[in-house]
Structure 1
Amino acid sequence: MKNAVSIILLWLSLPAFGQTSLAGYRAAVADYSWQLKIAASQSDAAAETMGQARTGYLPRLAMDGSFTKTFHRYEGIEPWTFGVLPQVVQTVYGGGAVRASAKQAELGYDIALCDEEFSRLDVRYAADYAYWNLSAVELYAASMRQYVSIIRSLKEVVDRRFAEGYIAKGDVLMIETRLSEAEYSLVSAEQSYEVALHNFNILRGTDATLDVQLGQGIRDSLPMPVRVVTAEALARRPDYTAARLRAEQADWGIRLARAPFNPQLSVGVGGSWQPFVPNRTGATTVDGSVFVKLSVPIFHWGERRRAVGAARAVQQQQEWTAALRHDDIVREEMNGWTALVQSRAQVDASEESLRIAGENLSISTYSYGEGLATILDVLQAQLSWIQLYSNAIRAHYNYAVAVSDYQRITAQ
């Protein structure tokens, strides 16, 4: 009975003195995440691209300059000349290219923001996974230490009864074999804990060997999420929004492909500063001009049709990609909810089985000490207990991960 009480106290006390909360760990991982930094820089680049595209609506100032000098003078003409030609040009109609480019850039910025938000969901899920994994392996390592302690306690009883001549050497050999197996499993469990600890710390950018006390554990009461309807899940998912925006962006790409083959109209004012022609005295003149430029493409051997056809194919691909993403999200939500419900049922079943196994272990151990049970009965009770304990840990871990996964799938 003493062992059963210590098992329960061990199970309940492990998360009680934790210092690293799940919310705090999420924040630390998000702050350190290189994935989020890359996504944020991509959003910044998209914002700059959008600003660059919008400059196409504004007039442009340009200046051409040249200077020429010859090696010989002919008939009194100066061997040098120059020209400075500033111009302000405003595109009145560029075939729709400016508007299409600006809209594509705006949509590209929205897509980058969606990608950044989806990266945030991935990083949060990675943080949850590392947190719950560390909690699970910590519990498992603790259970193996307790298991070894239980076997050692039984070995003391077996050794005493063997010394008193009540049992045969076979009982001693069986308990020593079981102890050796348990110690081997304990080494493996502690190694798994070290690996999980390294992953936990590296993900938040701290010393990989830093000891951690978790503020929450997989055995804490995690509320069952409310199921999200498919339409709401689709509306929340940033990757689905990005897929639809890419289809719209590709639609504007069709107009952009058509634009170079439409009429182009621009107006402007300019000036010139240059010597008189021919340059006999070196005197210069300044002149100004106003111009209207119209360009009308007439025949390009089907280039327009090919360009538009290629752009339309890209747009169709993006439409199909969005439809594929729609089906993937519907499937993810259904599978995620199924895993959540089943893992919750496994938690309830494993708790009851573990309680029974604990009672059976206490009774078998006590009965063996009183000579009312065989060593095989106790060893079987020990093996059943550690297996059910492991199942309970796995069930709680699966449920905690399923909760985090469903929150990621439904973008909560």
Structure 2
Amino acid sequence: MNFRISQLIQACHTATAPTSPLFRRRGGDKAVLFLFLLFPLSLPAQEILNLQQCREMALEYNKEMAASAKQTESAHYTAKSYLGNFFPNFTAGGTGIYSTIDGSLGIPGGNLPTFLPHATGQFLPNGGYAYFPGIDLNYKTGTIYMGGIQVEQPLYMGGKIRAAYKMSLLDKEMAHMNETLTATEVILKTDQAYALVVKAQEMKKVADKYNAVLTELMKNVESAHRHGLKPQNDVLKVRVKLNESELGIRKAENALRLATMNLCHYIGKPLATDIRISGDFPEIEQDIRMQVSDITARPEYGILNKQVSIAQQQVKLNRSELLPKVGIKGSYDYIHGFELNGQDLFDKGSFSVFLNVSVPLFHFGERSNKIRAAKAKLEQSRLEQENMNEQMLLELTQAANNLDEARLESELSDRSLQQAEENMRVSKSQYEVGLETLSDHLEAQVLWQQAYETRVDAHFRLYLNYITYLKAAGTLYDKCCK
């Protein structure tokens, strides 16, 4: 039997009522336990995730990470493919021919004169004869088949094979670095989304606390108004502020819902998944030593270096087209067929060895211009590397400055909140004894709310600037994933 939740709750209320026979026999608690065992409910469990879990889920789900992993895998197998060029290449082949071509060749026999050498160095007939029986050859093509195994080994290709293999290794290393770079960007976006949820939760707490303060004040002012101690105008002033606080709560709830959906998007959950995060803002190193001169730990720096190295190997690869090439080839072949006078002319195998030397002479500038183009590409890569390195240094300096300012702003916001809380406490005491007007007391509460929101926003931006600095310094991936 399947009950709706409302029906089961109603059944529980009925079973635990004082007039229920079940209540009188076993007691209300036993009746409720009996019903829940009889009709189990499957309520969706709310997930509680921490930052590390969100990072792991994002790295597993992200499509860019999957594409980077496939790129690394492709580069790995490409390097293995180029490595095979250093070793011999074995090939097996075979050919079959059938032809109806046939024919014969005949030379008649007879007596042929004989010759002897003369003292003059010439051959002169000696009057004798030798009998020549003649030749009668009948040939038929029929079926001919052949097969063999060949082995080819390059001895010197002008450095082409070595340069291509080094390029494949560099591409493999660059793919690994690109995978790290993608993971760093995914972690940065996930941390930003996680911190945004924390901020939305804190803003919701601020709105609830402010609403609670105004609600308490509203009760006091209404009670004073009923006893003739406060005018109606004070009640209206508090009511206006209370309405504003309710609107603030609704905005905070919507912001929290939107931030949670954004986090679900990054970690691969359906947007409507009901999740909660644990804890406050992630801890920030207090004794971190900021530096603005070393960018060698960034994956982008390594990728640029590999691109320059690849351009250097490309120059060597093109230069190999102007150098001699030497290779050796060996083969074992078997051929069968071609009938001659009813017997097969070919019916055995043979070994062969070939040495090939190729020396380029003149190609109308085609290959030399390729070298010039590769050198120009190398200089372009070096210039781009210098430009990007300067930009990364500027980015690191800006991130360090933003982190330093955010840290000071966070400390000032903590002080401001403490001062605003003390101001609100003093204002409340003075208002209760009639030494302060309601407008001043409401203003003190607004200042406290603003200081609280400023503190939450400052802590949020402090963490964002912290992870941004770690990414600019190239240490975000190591701190988060190792």
State the TM-score, normalizing by the size of structure 2: 0.75
Correspondence 1:280-359 to 2 at 5 A: 281=343, 284-359=347-422
Structure of higher RCO (CA pairs closer than 8 Å, 6+ residues apart): 1
The equivalent of 1:9 in structure 2 is none
How do residues 3-402 of structure 1 correspond to structure 2 at under 5 angstroms? 20-70=49-99, 72-75=100-103, 76-206=139-269, 208=271, 209-217=273-281, 222-228=285-291, 230=293, 233-276=294-337, 281=343, 284-402=347-465
Name the CA distance, whole Å, in 1 between partners of 2:396 and 2:49.
Answer: 30
Determine the C-alpha separation between the residues in 1 that align with 2:87 and 2:285. 57
The answer to whether the 8 A contact 1:63-1:87 is kept is yes
Structure 1 residues 59-111: Cα deviation after superposition (integer angstroms, max 9, x where no partner):
101233332334x4432523433332421010011121100101101111111
1:56–1:98 contact (8 Å) kept in structure 2: yes
On the 8 A contact 2:334/2:348 being kept in 1, the answer is yes
Q: What SS does the aligned partner of 1:84 have? A: strand
Contact 2:281–2:460, Cα closer than 8 Å, also in 1: no
Write 1 or 2 for the structure with the bigger share of helix.
1
Deviations 1:36-61 (A, max 9, x none): 33322222221111111111110101
Residues 346-401 of structure 1: per-residue CA shift (max 9 Å, x gap): 01111111111112222323433333322211221122111111111111111112
Q: CA RMSD in A?
A: 2.4
Q: C-alpha distance in 1, partners of 2:251/2:195?
A: 19
| Residues 258 and 273 of structure 1: CA distance in aligned 2, closer, same or farther (over 3 Å) | same
Deviation per CA, 1:258-308, whole angstroms, max 9, x where unpaired? 223321110121122223557775553322211101112222111012211
Aligned residues: 391
Partner of 1:10: none
Contact in 2 for aligned 1:30/1:120 (Cα 8 Å): yes
Note closer, same or farther for the CA distance 1:367–1:387 as it changes in structure 2 (3 Å cut): same
Q: Tell me, yes or no, if the aligned pair for 1:154 and 1:365 is still in contact at 8 Å.
A: no
> In structure 1, what is the Cα distance between the partners aligned to 2:213 and 2:101?
111
Q: Mean Cα displacement is larger for which, 220-229 or 39-48? A: 220-229
Note if contact 1:36-1:120 (Cα within 8 Å) is conserved in structure 2.
Answer: yes
State how far apart, in whole Å, the 2-side matches of 1:317 and 1:278 are.
Answer: 67
Structure with a larger share of its residues in strand? 2
Matched residues in 1 for 2:455 and 2:280: separation? 17
**What CA distance in whole angstroms lies between the structure 2 residues aligned with 1:154 and 1:369?**
10
Amino acid at match of 2:301: Y
Bigger Cα displacement from structure 2, 179-188 vs 27-36: 27-36
**Relative to 1, partners in 2 of residues 1:407 and 1:221: Cα closer, same or farther, differing over 3 Å?**
closer
Q: Which moved more, 1:133-142 or 1:208-217?
A: 208-217
The 10-residue stretch of structure 1 (380-389 or 358-367) with the greater mean CA deviation from structure 2: 358-367
Assess if the C-alpha contact under 8 Å between 1:144 and 1:186 holds in 2: yes
Contact 1:78–1:281 (CA under 8 A) maintained in structure 2: no
Cα distance in 2 for residues equivalent to 1:66 and 1:261:
36
Q: TM-score, normalised by structure 1?
A: 0.87
CA distance in 2, matches of 1:307, 1:298: 16
| Contact map agreement 2:284 2:466 (CA 8 A) in 1 | no
CA distance in 2, matches of 1:222, 1:240: 25
1:24 shift after superposition:
4.4
Letter in 2 for 1:43: T
